[in-house]
Structures are given as C-alpha cells and as structure tokens.
A and B are shown apart, each in its own frame.
Chain A
Amino acid sequence: MVLNAESTALETKHLGFTISPHEECGVEEAVRLIESGGGESVVLTLGPQEAVEQLRDAMALGIDRAIHLQTDGREADGQATAAAIAEAIRADESASGPFDLIFFGSESADAGGYQIGIRVAYALGRPCVTGLKGLKVEGSTVSCEQDAGGGRDVYAVPLPAVVTVKEGLNLPRYPSVPGRMRSARKPVATSTPSPPQRRLELTRLAIPGGQGRKTVVLGSGPAAALAVVEVLRKIGIL
C-alpha cells in the first residue's frame, strides 16, 4: 500500500480499478435474473470520471444501461453517498418505472462501511436483507439466505426490496468479447450530485505497523504447542 503525499488517499498511479467482489456478484445475479425472467437491468455508481470503466465492465456482463453520478474523486461518507444514490434512483424510477430489486455489495472492499444499502433502503421505504449468499425470487417475494452459525438463516421479504450480497452468492461470468464490444455502445447517463456534507470526515490514512508481514516462527518441535494454542486463542479460534 502506498499513500499519496497528504496521506488522504491511496496512491493510485500504478493501480488498476475494479468492481468490489461483493458488488460483482450482485451484478451477475441481476444479469441472471433478467436472463431468466425478462426485464431491464441498470448499474449505478458514484465516483470520478474513471469509474465509467467499471460501469462498462458491468455492462459487458449483460447489464442494459448505466447511471454515473460523477464526483470530483474525493470520498463521500456513507450518508452522503447513500443520499445521492437514493435521489438518483428516485429520479430514474419516476422516469422509467420502479425497480423490483436493488442490489448492493455487503460492504465495499475498501472503506468497509456496511451501511450504503441499508440507508438507501430506508430512504426508499423498502425492506433490506444483508450479507446474502443465496437468493431466489418467487413471484412477488424474494427468499434470501445468509450464512449464520454453520448453517443458513432464511428471510422472505416482499418486492420491491433492497438486498446486499456477499461474494459466494454466485460465480460471476467472464465477459465475452462481443459482450465487451456491445458494452461500449450501451448508454451511460451522467449527472453530478450536489456536493456532500461530511459528517464522518476522513482526516488521514495510515498503514498499520507490522505491515509487510514477516512470518512469526512460534518455535520448533512439540514444545511450540503452547505458543500455538496462545495464538489460536488470541485470534479468536479457541
């Protein structure tokens, strides 16, 4: 990990960007649902100009069109992001009709805030089930499965609903070249949301000490068993 000069963001000069793995599973699930049941799918993101690439990647998997809420690249906190997304969804629904299902990733791979999907659901007044590993639409309800205590917890909520999904829900397809070529021609609607309030305000990023993991040798031979058990306890396995 390399930080920029002000330590306010990752140095992205040599990095490529990608969709978070949880969100990618959400995209794949949406594509599968439309493939089997018909309908239209839309992908939306809040981010700088470069984020269009991820929208194109999603459309290469089969999403029909995209909405890009373009920002200046600075981070917005969970509330501001959710508010902008909810507003954009309301606008699209008044133009093109309501969404039966809205997918979010369980948490973003970077900030890990866990809250965007839930906030949007509350703003839209729809039920939200989180962290899904299984999902089945049955008529006007959706049956959802979460990993819990060695097995699965099952929920059932009526549509329209909001779900946040986890990697493992499905295996996202590898985009075909014709899919990628088609994606370049699919429409992207761009708008600029109003500048956000910052109530959870990032001041600084830091790389935790002990990075560049060095292997801790706990000992040799059976005498090391005690040290092993201590570690197991410390990391919460025992």
Chain B
Amino acid sequence: MSALALAVALLVAGGLFARRGLMLFRIVRAAKPSDRSGEMPQRARAEAVVVVGQSKLLQRLGPGLMHAVIFWGFLVLLPTIVIAMIGAVDPHATLPWLGPQGWYAALVDAFALLVLAGVLAAFFIRKVQRPGRFKGSHLGEADLILVWISGIVVSLLLWHSSQIALGLNDYPRESAPVSNLISHALSGTWVAVLERVAVWAHVLLILGFLVYLPYSKHLHILVAAINVFFTRTRARGRLEPVDFEKPEAEVRLGAATASDLTWKQVLDTMSCTECGRCQDVCPAYTTGKELSPKLLIMALRDQVRAQSDKPLVPNAVTDNVVWDCVTCGACIQECPVGIEHIDHIVDLRRNLVMLESRFPEEAGTMLRDVDRASNPWGKAPSDRTSWAEGLGVRVLQPGEPPPEVLFWVGCAPAFDERAKQGARSTAKLLLGAGVDFAILGPREACTGDPARRMGDEYTFQRLARDNVRTLNDSKVTKIVTTCPHCFNTIGNEYADFGGRYEVVHHTEFLAQLVREGKLQPAAGERTITYHDSCYLARHNDVIGAPRELAAASGKTVEMARHGKRTFCCGAGGARMWMEERGRPINEERVREAAATGADTLAVGCPFCTVMLDDGVRNSGAKLQVIDLASLLSEAVERKKAQQ
C-alpha cells in the first residue's frame, strides 16, 4: 500500500515537475547561441569555489554564513530524501551502507540544527534588520520557502526521533544526539502514528517542494550551479561580438524581445534569487537612478517565463534603466549565482541603438564624433600629438621598425586638458628609464569602447578592424596604455578581430620599472587614497601594481570600497557623454575618498581623473586628484633632489 502511495506521489510530483521543467528547458534550448566553450579547468574551479565554497556569498559574512549552512546542509541531507522514501514504504528498511552509519546520523543531526539556525538567521535578517537590498523582491515567496525548508527539517528530526523512540533506528541512537534527545520526550501509542506522519510529511513536503521549484525563484538550486559553470572565466571585460557577416535576416542586433536572449541570459534570469546584493552595490541605484540590476533581471525573467514577444523596452524595463548603467560590473562581482547583468544591458542597448536609433540625444553626438572623427571629442586626429609637445616622444611612422613597446595614448589624454597630465608624466618616466617606446600619433583611432558599451557594435567593429590593421602592420607586440578602457578593449576584445598583443597598464609597467630599479622614487608627505578603476580592478584584476606606486609616493589609506569592490567614478558605459540625473556618482565617490582623511586622490585612468576632479570641484572637497604616473614622477624628482 505504502509502496503504491509512494509510487503515485513520485509519479505525480515527478510528472508535474517534468512538465514545467521541460518547458523551461525548451526555452533555454530555443534561445540564441552564446559561446561558452573551453576553459574547463577554470570552470571547474569556479564551481568548486563559488558554488561549493560559497565564496561570492561569503563576501558578506553574516548572510553568507547563513546561506552556506543551509546550502551545505542541503548537500549533506540529500541522501536523507532517499532514506525517507524508503522508510515511508517500510519503517524497518533504510538505504544500504549509508543508512546505518553513525557518523552520517551525526552529520544529519548537526546539519539539521544548523539549517534551522540558518533559517532563523534568515528570518532575523529579513524581519528585523530589513536590509534595503530586498526592496522590490518578492518577500512573501521567500518567507514561504524558508518555512517550507524548516518544515522539511523539522519533519526529518521528528521522524528520526520517533524512529529512535520506537527502536527502529538503524544507527546507534547516541550518534544522533539531537534526535536522541527529542526521542526521550516521545512515549506512548501516538509515537507510532507520529513516526508515520512525520516520514510522510517529510516525503510529501519534499515532493511538493519539487513541484513548486520550477515555479519559484528556488529554481536556483538546480540552475545556479550550471549558470556559474558557464560564466566568463578570463577576459571578463570582453563582450561577445555581433556577427555581421551572417545573412541580413539572421544578424542578431542585441535583444528586442525575450526570444532574442541567449541561453546564458535565459539561465541568468532563471538563477536569480532576488537577493539584491547587486542592487546594493550598483552605483546607479545607490545614487537614486531608476536602474536596479536585480529588478532588471526579475523583469526579464517574467518576460522569459511568459514567453512574451512584447518588446523588452519599455515593457520589461524603461529606456532610463537601460541607459543608467555604467558597466562597472559590481553587480556581477556580488552575484552568487553567476548572473552577468552587463550582457543583458548591452544587448538591450544594441537593439535600441542599431535597430531603432533610440538613445539619449547627447550620446548621439558622441557616436557621430567617434564614427567620423575617430574620437569621442570630435577633434582633429592631427591634434593627437599636442599633449606630447616638447617631450621628444617618438611618433612611429608606417614602415619603420617597431619599438619594444607601443605607448597607446587613447583619446582622453590627447583631447581632454585634465587627462593630459597622466600621459605626459608616463612619457617622461618612460623616457627617463630609457624605455624603447613610441606612439602612433594621428594614426591612433578610438578603440571604439564608448561605441561598443553604448551598443553601437557596428561602429565599434569598424574601428576595431582599422586599429588592428594599423597595429598588425606596425608589427608591435607589446602595448602599454594609461587608459583602462583601451587596456580592456585592446587586450581582451581585439583578439576577436585578429589583434593579439601583450597589453599592460601603465601602472603595471611603471611598477615593474620601479622594482627593477630603473625608476627610483622617494615617498613624500602626501596621504594618498587610491581609487581602483572598474575596468582595471574588477574586470581585469589589476590591483597590486597601482598600490605599489602609491606606496612609493607617500602614505596610503584605503577606502572601504576598494579592490574588486571598488565604486565607479561614473564615466563607464559611455555615461561620460550622457547627462546624469539624480545624485552624481562621482560626488558620491569623492565623499568616500574625502572621508578617509587623505589629501590626495590617486587614479590610474584618464576618465576617473576627469570625473573625480569634477566631483571635487562640485562638492568642494579638499582633495587633489592626480594620476599615479604623476605621483611617481613627483617621487622620482624628489629622490633626485635628495641626492
């Protein structure tokens, strides 16, 4: 009888789960392609560290531990599902080998308690602490899931205790201290009933959970592990290119509707647990803009689930949400389930820009300038060398033998007054250290990063191919640049267009020169706080070298949000050229810098230089914004003066 009942329950639950699960699987299968092949060792490592090790979650210790114990408990308690099902049919039977193991019973008891403690902690966080990151999440659903988990664990404990009370335990009762303890309170004829009720409740709760799974955000327990496996491992700053060579009807110009999303993006939406960590660290959300990465993914998930063919903009998200993003990647850094929000936003932008020509007007000026003048300032390419006036920098002419390293200047230092300093200091230091380098001068064109981040992949690819041709013809193999965006695009993205070079950021290059003794600095009196650029630290892991330079120049002090958890200056995602509503991101960051008590705000990026300098001027903070190269230059002069 019991076997029949279990079989029926399994069939019904399994069938319902399979039907819904299959529908979701079909959506993923029908989605657009995304190349996530290769990198198997790195992917396996990510699985181990992020999923099993819960590393991303533990970035916030309290909530991280809370979830970790529930998750590890889930892993440990997995076999108990089978044991319970066997026990539901026959109270005397159990899983061969594992069932009678005392150590396993001990583990089960321990983790059952830990899970309950975790659930309690979760309720404490949600009901008492009430963090802002839950704003917009479906709290009722979360409460239900937590209660359900408690129910599963409590019923398991009650079953174990009543089994012990009835002498049905297959393991020594002392090895399950909690269940043993509870069992002492159980005596009487009703314990037999309790035992049956508990085991069936446990089985039905689990099967019910299984059915509920693909309808709720708890689906993440199946999908997240897969999603994490397929996230980018290296070259995290690289966007997937659009293939324009396909027949016109097949070219995927970003995403207009849910069916345009790639399978990875669909998996992203299915993995979201609405935890809100991304929302918490988003510079746009923090400064009062409409964009919340969490709400974006949730909205896309709704469209995907409904298999809707309505345009995502404005039905899932508004235009503002799409343009608020600075592509800093803080959301991706925080996300424990491997969601890559930037891909979603850039695909929405690609469609708006390339198909509908729908974007903030002022950004259109920048796109036109990039297209026609090959730089977002719209200035003449022949002006690209005026920053280097009087320095004696070699300009590489076509056909000349290549230098050991090419100094790729970028547009900002060439055309923006305040950004020039970093390039000048770098050039002077390189000359002083006797490095064999040259610049391309007017033959440099914008790397295309602002166009690409805006979604204008067409213009980007044209620029990329032109630049790759110039670089390949010049036969350079090593490139140093002061701009993290150029660094990311040339280093990570140009390979897709035939450009493979060793690309180094100027802070890395200069730090190496200091280590080799070719540049000798003497630290001064400044108190320096270094602002990590998103495209350096978070997208590309360049964190140590800039700090070496800062430490060589003065006393250093860190902001709370530093390294991979740095806070954006606000220029990324082509937002440098867009009007900002709400509180300015750059002023937010300047406030944080000023609060450290530093007098110097060191940067390694010409855009950060301009944005943070504006931030200082607008907020009246007592800080000097200065590039690390200039600080190092100062330190080198100081040493010379001392000698």
Q: Are A174 and B381 in contact (CB-based, < 8 A)?
A: no
Q: Is A198 an interface residue (CB 8 A)?
A: no
| Interface flags, A161-177, vs B, CB<8A=1, else 0 | 00000000001011111
Q: Are B354 and A176 in contact (CB-based, < 8 A)?
A: yes
User: In whole Å, how far is B381's beta carbon from the nearest beta carbon of chain A?
Assistant: 4
By size class, the interface of chain A is: 10 to 19
Q: Which residue of B lies closest to A19 (CB)?
A: B372
User: In whole Å, how far is B485's beta carbon from the nearest beta carbon of chain A?
Assistant: 21
Q: Is B382 an interface residue (CB 8 A)?
A: yes
**A-chain residues with CB within 8 Å of residue B244 when the two chains form the complex:** 177
**Contacting residue for B372 out of A1, A16, A171, CB 8 A:** A16
Number of B interface residues, CB 8 Å?
Answer: 24
Q: Is A15 an interface residue (CB 8 A)?
A: yes
**B-chain residues with CB within 8 Å of residue A126 when the two chains form the complex:** none
Q: Are A1 and B357 in contact (CB-based, < 8 A)?
A: no
Q: Which residue of A lies closest to B254 (CB)?
A: A177
Restricting to A142-195, which residues have a CB under 8 Å from any CB of B?
171, 173-178, 180-181
| Interface flags, A4-42, vs B, CB<8A=1, else 0 | 000000010111111000000000000000000000000
Assuming the A-B contacts A177-B253, A180-B458, are A14 and B357 also in contact, with contact meaning beta carbons closer than 8 angstroms in the complex? no
Q: Which residue of B lies closest to A13 (CB)?
A: B442
Q: Is A231 an interface residue (CB 8 A)?
A: no
User: In whole Å, how far is B399's beta carbon from the nearest beta carbon of chain A?
Assistant: 14
**A-chain residues with CB within 8 Å of residue B443 when the two chains form the complex:** 14
**A-chain residues with CB within 8 Å of residue B367 when the two chains form the complex:** 174
**A-chain residues with CB within 8 Å of residue B442 when the two chains form the complex:** 13-14
Interface of B is mostly: helix
Q: Are A176 and B356 in contact (CB-based, < 8 A)?
A: yes
Q: Which residue of B lies closest to A180 (CB)?
A: B458
Q: Are A16 and B373 in contact (CB-based, < 8 A)?
A: yes
**A-chain residues with CB within 8 Å of residue B248 when the two chains form the complex:** 178, 181
User: In whole Å, how far is A205's beta carbon from the nearest beta carbon of chain B?
Assistant: 15
Q: Is A2 an interface residue (CB 8 A)?
A: yes
Q: Are A176 and B382 in contact (CB-based, < 8 A)?
A: no
A13 vs B374: C-alpha distance when bound (angstroms): 13
Q: Is B14 an interface residue (CB 8 A)?
A: no
**A-chain residues with CB within 8 Å of residue B353 when the two chains form the complex:** 174
**Contacting residue for B381 out of A15, A171, A176, CB 8 A:** A15
**B-chain residues with CB within 8 Å of residue A14 when the two chains form the complex:** 380-382, 442-443
**Contacting residue for A15 out of B354, B364, B380, B458, CB 8 A:** B380
Assuming the A-B contacts A180-B458, A181-B248, are A174 and B374 also in contact, with contact meaning beta carbons closer than 8 angstroms in the complex? no
**A-chain residues with CB within 8 Å of residue B382 when the two chains form the complex:** 1-2, 11, 14-15
User: In whole Å, how far is B387's beta carbon from the nearest beta carbon of chain A?
Assistant: 13
A2 vs B381: C-alpha distance when bound (angstroms): 11
Q: Are B374 and A176 in contact (CB-based, < 8 A)?
A: no
**A-chain residues with CB within 8 Å of residue B361 when the two chains form the complex:** 171
Q: Which residue of A lies closest to B357 (CB)?
A: A174
**A-chain residues with CB within 8 Å of residue B374 when the two chains form the complex:** 16
**B-chain residues with CB within 8 Å of residue A2 when the two chains form the complex:** 382
User: In whole Å, how far is A4's beta carbon from the nearest beta carbon of chain B?
Assistant: 12
A2 vs B382: C-alpha distance when bound (angstroms): 8
Q: Is B355 an interface residue (CB 8 A)?
A: yes
**B-chain residues with CB within 8 Å of residue A178 when the two chains form the complex:** 248, 253, 355
Q: Which residue of B lies closest to A185 (CB)?
A: B248
A176 vs B354: C-alpha distance when bound (angstroms): 5
| Interface flags, B225-251, vs A, CB<8A=1, else 0 | 000000000000000000010001001
Q: Which residue of B lies closest to A181 (CB)?
A: B248
Restricting to B364-406, which residues have a CB under 8 Å from any CB of A?
364, 367-368, 371-374, 380-382
| Interface flags, B337-377, vs A, CB<8A=1, else 0 | 00000000000000001111101010010011001111000
**B-chain residues with CB within 8 Å of residue A181 when the two chains form the complex:** 248
A14 vs B470: C-alpha distance when bound (angstroms): 13
Restricting to B81-135, which residues have a CB under 8 Å from any CB of A?
none
A171 vs B362: C-alpha distance when bound (angstroms): 12
Restricting to A81-139, which residues have a CB under 8 Å from any CB of B?
none
A-B contact pairs, 23 of them (CB 8 A): A1-B380, A2-B382, A13-B442, A14-B381, A14-B382, A14-B442, A15-B381, A15-B382, A16-B371, A16-B372, A16-B381, A18-B372, A171-B361, A173-B357, A174-B357, A176-B354, A176-B355, A176-B356, A177-B251, A177-B354, A177-B355, A177-B458, A180-B458
Q: Which residues of A contact B (CB under 8 A)?
A: 1-2, 11, 13-18, 171, 173-178, 180-181
4 tightest A-B CB contacts, nearest first: A14-B442, A177-B354, A14-B381, A174-B357
Apart from A1-B380, A15-B380, A174-B364: 7 A-B pairs, beta carbons within 8 A: A11-B382, A14-B380, A14-B442, A17-B372, A174-B359, A177-B354, A178-B355
